[in-house]
Amino acid sequence: MMTAEQLWFVNPYQLEVRAQQLPPLLAGQMRVHSVCSGISAGTEMLVYRGQLPSELAVDATLEGLQMQANYPLPYGYACVGRVEALGEGVAASWMGQLVFAFQTHASAFITTPEQVIKVPEDINPEAAIFLANMETAVNMVLDGQPSLGEQVVVLGQGIVGLLLTSILRQYPLAGLYALDGLSERRAASVSLGSHQVLDPFSEQQLESLKHELQLPLDLSATVGRGADLVYEVTGSPTALNLAITLCSYSGRIVIGSWYGNKLSLLNLGGVAHRNRIKLISSQVSTIAPELSGRWDKERRFQTAWDMIRRLNPESLITHKLPLAEAAQIYRLIDQAPEQVLQAVFIY
């Protein structure tokens, strides 16, 4: 039997790297040796801090993450590795194939061909770990449906927010505004092409943005005032009220954050009600019903690969480290997030 190192979340703020023996391969299975895996800081911080809703499966759509959100549990969903052993009945062409897997952080794992995605030959492993987050960004663009000449605001410039901004900059928008409280993320957003990047905790900068968007709204003359489309990807429920404040009459707010067990005190009694604002929950596990006749997950994955080719997201990696240093990097992300843009485990 082969031994693999696996990362386990034992309790809030407590991690362990455990040696686990992998069982012999059954028919139809294959073993993958991990090359690298990416930390998805937004979601993984919920696990690290004990903020997952315990009544739900970690992810009901991914076979490796269908356990209840109770400690101890493994986590992670952006792993890239090479197939190193095949069970009976698996095509020989899989041997040595570079694959992406929605797999928890581990040095090796057993899977099936149906549960992995082949990485195109022209994409390197460190770029490929962004597939999950890029697919999420693509899905939010599809759900938001940005249009010619619109004003678009993205709240939050973590990795998903930056990838989303990178895609949106390719649209002929009247304005693309990004907001984040961390100066390092704002700098990254500028380099990716945001028209303006602002600090949401600066009253002066917020007033400047409202002026750009011609706010506050006058209900007697609403056309063209406010953001046509606002994306909320901060991970903080309080940001939704800012999204409502910035949104136009009949505008759309796409909620891409997952808050876990954090509750939102949402002000729906003011402009949100009068201005007919649409709140759209964007979740990557499914395709929006109005798009499912033309889009499926395969097409969305292909679009995500194309965006990876165009945008080179591996330039956002700031930390590469072995799994043995997991406790240090999660502590750093928790306590000093301004120091970490994208962290990657190298196996």
Residues 125 and 138 placed together within one structural domain of the fold: no
Residue 322 lies in a domain: yes
The end-to-end CA distance of the chain, in Å, is 19
37, 77, 125, 269, 285 from 128: Cα distances, Å: 9, 12, 5, 44, 19
Q: Is 211 exposed, middle or buried (0-12, 13-18, 19+ CB in 10 A)?
A: exposed
8 A C-beta contact, residue 150 and residue 229: yes
Assess if residue 301 is contained within a domain.
Answer: no
Q: Considering its fold, how many domains does the chain have in total?
A: 2
Give the model's pLDDT for residue 257.
Answer: 87
27-64 pLDDT, tens digit per residue, is 999 999 999 999 999 899 999 999 887 655 555 455 65
- Domain membership of residue 223 (yes or no) is yes
Domain residues for 229?
134-281
CATH of the domain at 94: 3.90.180.10
Q: Is residue 183 part of a domain?
A: yes
- Shared domain for 121 and 211, answered yes or no, is no
- Kindly state whether residue 287 falls inside one of the protein's structural domains: no
The label of the residue with tokens 């061909």 reads 113
- Which of 263, 281, 299 marks a domain boundary? 281
Element housing 135 (H / E): helix 131-144
Return the SS3 of 346: strand
Is residue 122 domain-shared with residue 161, that is, in the same domain? no
Task: Report the mean per-residue pLDDT for the chain.
Answer: 92
User: Residue 75's closest CA among 302, 300, 345?
Assistant: 345
Q: How far apart are CA 52 and CA 299, in angstroms?
A: 30
Q: In this predicted structure, what is the pLDDT of residue 61?
A: 53
Same domain membership, residue 151 and residue 125: no
Q: Return all residues near 171 (Cβ < 8 A) that are at least 6 apart.
A: 146, 148, 152
Q: Is residue 293 part of a domain?
A: no
Domain membership flag for residue 305: no
Residues 97 and 219 in one domain: no
Same domain assignment for residues 321 and 239: no
Domain check: are 186 and 62 in the same one? no
- The string of pLDDT tens digits covering residues 205-259 is 999 999 999 886 555 455 668 999 999 999 888 999 999 999 999 999 999 988 8
pLDDT of residue 60: 47
DSSP string over 146-182: --TT-EEEEE--SHHHHHHHHHHTTS--SEEEEE-S-
Q: Which residues of the chain have pLDDT under 50?
A: 60, 66, 220
